[in-house]
Amino acid sequence: MQHYDLIVIGGGPAGEKGAAQAAYFGKKVALVEESSQLGGACINTGTLPSKTLRESSLYFSGLRQRGLYGIDYSLRDGLTVHDLMHHKDEVVESERNIVRRNIEGHSIELFIGKGEFESANSVAVHSAGEVETHLSADVFLIATGSRPYRSPDIPFDDESIFDSDTILKLNPIPQSLAVVGGGVIGVEYASIFAALGTKVALLDSRDRLLPFLDAEISELLRRRLEDLGVELYLKDRSAHFQKNATGIRIQLQSGEYIEAQSALFAAGRRANVEGLGLEKARLGVNKRGYFEVNEFYQTSAPNIYAAGDVIGFPALASTSMEQGRVAVCHAFGFAYKKRLPHMLPIGIYTIPEISSIGETEESCAEKKIPYAVARAHYANNARGQIIGDKRGLLKLVFNRNDRKLLGVHIIGESATELIHQGMIMLEAGGTIDSLIELVFNYPTLSEMYKYAAYDGLGNLSGHKLREG
């Protein structure tokens, strides 16, 4: 039995970065990955492929150019998802190679196969047609990711009825699509296919889209989706599902029904914990199927850590990477990365993009924080005019008393890039006065931070200050 300081089970973002972090500080590390393709769902089936599809849809539909030139592009008949994804294979393969080089560069020993605990200190690696390999370690990191939840009531066939992984196999692009589930994944795909000219119906049981967002941003998203032609069915549920010769028919509890050529069910995800032999390691999961961990991502077994999708929300590649790093730093006592920031950015790749960090108006009201808001509109920004985005918004939430920034919320082009400037200000305890003192390149979208700050000061004083 080969012994290691650390064994990582799962080669996605959390596992790769956790393994590399330990190896960087000289630990002997093994990485067990069931798939022959490294990178997890992030690279292979989820994040990168879907974002590539988004960019392709903006390009081929001409949607990004319409606000600038008034051009209405026509998609050619029979266009398939595969046609839109020709660049995806290059991106995915490049990222796989980067991950592989990172593992090799840190002298991490890679085992392809299914990892199963034999005890709290050992695992067996099962590979098809291979003799079992037995490994032991002082510390383990479980980072096996998640997969789409498939309700037994839905007859998935991956031909007309898809989950969020298999939707990328859809060919050709359907004339109509029903999206069941208004979470981040469902809303992203709804906007992407609507941009491609598909008639999209989006069903969700909640009364507003993405309710964790600031309410104003959520409402702007609703309007933009409706402008794209998305038909929204909120505060409703499916009662009966039926396949027919032309596609599918979904009867709703309200009595209405949705008919579509294809359907995407994006009703959550489930942690990949089956077959891990958790009982042998004296481990279990909560009622939602996730590991319970402390602030250092330590499970109930002190030498076993878990990070990424297997611990649930927020289940983002960006946070998963940092969770893996924090976990191994705590496990080995490295005086390096001891925690995640108190506030984490959220990036949502809808059309338009959304990004958010920190407090919202609603959370400030609930916590009785004295707050004020500041806004800057893309339409009043020179770069916004240049790129043709006239409906974007940068919104700041700040403390009314000391003017410290509390939250940043953006909807519009490059929102997921712009958020980081606000994030740094939040971590540094900056005020809106600090934004006014800074000099921004002109013309840039970043300059909106300055003019949002002017707007905030005007709101505080009861009148608008001159911007200049």
Q: What distances in angstroms separate CA 104 from CA 101, 174, 456, one per listed residue?
A: 5, 42, 50
Q: So what's the architecture of 352-461 in CATH?
A: 2-Layer Sandwich (3.30)
Looking only at the bridges linking them, the beta strands covering 133-142 and 2-9 are: parallel
Q: Is 433 helix (H, G, I), strand (E, B) or coil?
A: helix
Q: Is the pLDDT of residue 223 over 70?
A: yes
Q: Is the pLDDT of residue 407 over 90?
A: yes
Shared fold status for 2-148+270-332 and 161-267: yes
Average pLDDT, the chain: 90
pTM: 0.88
Q: Is the pLDDT of residue 359 over 50?
A: yes
State whether the Cα torsion 19-420-48-189 is positive or negative. Answer: positive
Q: Is the pLDDT of residue 109 over 80?
A: yes
Q: Which of 45, 261, 42 is nearest to 167 (CA)?
A: 45
Q: So what's the architecture of 2-148+270-332 in CATH?
A: 3-Layer(bba) Sandwich (3.50)
Residue type, position 376, single letter? A
Q: Judging by beta carbons within 10 Å of its beta carbon (0-12, 13-18, 19+), is residue 227 exposed, middle or buried?
A: exposed
Angle 345-350-354 from CA coordinates, rounded to 5°: 35
In whole angstroms, what is the distance from residue 330 CA to residue 230 CA? 46
Rounded mean pLDDT of 445-458? 96
Q: Is 382 helix (H, G, I), strand (E, B) or coil?
A: helix
Rounded mean pLDDT of 73-83? 59
pLDDT category of residue 69 using cuts at 50, 70 and 90: very low
pLDDT at 71: 44
Q: Is the pLDDT of residue 39 over 90?
A: no
Q: Is the pLDDT of residue 411 over 50?
A: yes
Q: Judging by beta carbons within 10 Å of its beta carbon (0-12, 13-18, 19+), is residue 223 exposed, middle or buried?
A: exposed
Domain boundaries, the chain: 2-148+270-332, 161-267, 352-461
Q: Is the pLDDT of residue 81 over 90?
A: no
3.40.640.10, 3.50.50.60, 1.20.1440.230, 3.30.9.10: CATH of 161-267: 3.50.50.60
Looking only at the bridges linking them, the beta strands covering 393-399 and 371-377 are: antiparallel
pLDDT at 136: 97
In whole angstroms, what is the distance from residue 196 CA to residue 167 CA? 15
